[in-house]
Amino acid sequence: PCNSDAHMELTTEKPSSSARKEPPASSGPRPAASFSPSPAAAAPKSMEQLEEEEEAKDSFDVDVSVTNPEKVGQYLPPAPSLCWSQHETSLPMFRNKTFSVRRRFSDFLGLYEKMSVKSSLHGCVIPPPPEKSVMGMTKVKVGKDDPSSAEFLERRRAALERYLQRVVCHPLLLQDPDVREFLEKEELPRAVNTQALSGAGFLKMINKASDAVNKMTIKMNESDTWFEDKLQEVESEEQQLRKLHAVVDSLVNHRKELCGNTAVFAKSMAMLGNSEDNTALSRALSQLAEVEDKMEQLHQEQAASDFFIFAELLADYIRLLGAVRGCFDQRMRAWQRWQEAQSTLQKKREAEAKLLWANKPDKLQQAKEEITEWEAKVTQYERDFDRIGVTVRKEVLRFEVRFVVVVCKHNIQSGSSSLAEPTTSREFTFPRMATE
């Protein structure tokens, strides 16, 4: 068996109103803005007003970083673990101000599974963890010093860091006991049923297929068009971003190919310059090789920037849209439970009427008890449906304001500046061959 070690740092501090830190993938927690269940109850607000309200509600920042992935064991792939430190006591829920912990990759998946099954978190946008990559893990196991293995580890480390940042920045998830245990407890029980190819994995696939069939066959009588409109927006946006992600991924691959071809060209020019008898031409070819080396480095930096800023951001956003879509599915399942309970209650009442008509008092008491039981269930399921609906409204608002406006805008601006950086911050002197 194998796990791997890494280092994670978490900082909790109160930022000033004039200076705020904006991490590229996540920022500080903002309490979910209140949203009235009735669309007509509140006046419409612009995204700028909502963004200002979210900024005003900040009370502290929680910065988490996952670092230093280390492989422990011979056969299994490494999974980053983490340590974190808390600099101020603005969060009394944590026992210590500074401590460190180590976590396997399966621990991250196990944390997500625990949060997903909690009824108290139904309707919440639970950030999805990075998916397991069988191909990437195979490369890590086979090639020790393979550059693709190092790239895979860095990609996984960054993805786990962004996942954990989103979890601790959520005001409800941060209060969850399993999240606090994940951050604080020295050792966690080994997470089970997280293997990509396992019986539990196939069972999840079957459950997802069953949910998809139920979604197609069950028509929900929606009384609030807000949910229908938002769900259509989410599905349309997810479909368009998948196409955009494919284009950006192709761009990254082309940049990597250009980087490799530039390196080959630079090496060829250097070899040609060394073999050239003409001194001026040899010097010009050598200078051209140096310029191409610098160009190769620029292409490499730009490919990495495109990958981590654009491609990874889009992939995260697509997974988050899937989580948002899952909130609407949870609301539909809550409505389905409510309707099924109402149908069962109606059948119980009809059975009671038949017993009264048949004059069977011996079974009448049991029928009344069952009616009372199902009346309580109907009331509870109706409350659950209303509660999940309110939560979905808040979560969609929080997602739109917080992630789309704040995080995406920041990352796109960073990506745009990185595109302009090579032309503004570096100047190359191209060689000129002197005439002899």
Whether the pLDDT of residue 55 is over 60: the answer is no
- CA–CA separation, 15 and 119 (whole Å): 33
Dihedral angle of Cα 114, 118, 120, 124, to the nearest 10 degrees: 70
**What are the tokens at 222?**
């929606």
Phi, psi of 131 (to 5 degrees): -80, 155
Residues 341, 183: Cα–Cα separation, whole Å: 39
Contact 173, 124 (CB under 8 A): yes
The tens digit of pLDDT for each residue in 287-337 reads 999 999 999 999 998 888 888 888 888 898 899 999 999 999 999 999 999
pLDDT per position as a tens digit, 187-245: 777 766 655 545 555 565 666 666 666 666 677 777 888 999 999 999 999 999 999 99
Length of the chain (residues): 436
Q: Report the run of H or E that residue 83 belongs to, with start and end.
A: strand 83-85
As a dihedral over the C-alpha atoms of residue 89, residue 91, residue 95, residue 99, rounded to 10 degrees, the angle is -70
In the chain the domains, ranked by start, together with CATH numbers, are 1-20+58-217 (3.30.1520.10), 223-436 (1.20.1270.60)
Please spell the DSSP secondary structure of 294-333, one letter per residue: HHHHHHHHHHHHIIIIIIHHHHHHHHHHHHHHHHHHHHHH
Please tell me the predicted confidence (pLDDT) of residue 402: 75
pLDDT score, position 156: 84
Question: What pTM was computed for the model?
Answer: 0.72
Question: pLDDT tens-digit profile of 232-289?
Answer: 999 999 999 999 999 999 999 999 999 999 999 999 999 999 998 889 999 999 999 9
Q: How far is CA 413 from CA 180, 417, 431, in A?
A: 33, 6, 34
Strands 3-13 and 98-100, sheet pairing: unpaired
Helix (H, G, I), strand (E, B) or coil at 167: helix
Task: Give the DSSP letter string of 234-298.
Answer: HHHHHHHHHHHHHHHHHHHHHHHHHHHHHHHHHHHHHHHHHH-S-HHHHHHHHHHHHHHHHHHHH
Instruction: With cut-offs at 50, 70 and 90, classify the pLDDT of residue 132.
Output: confident
Cross-strand pairs, 204? none
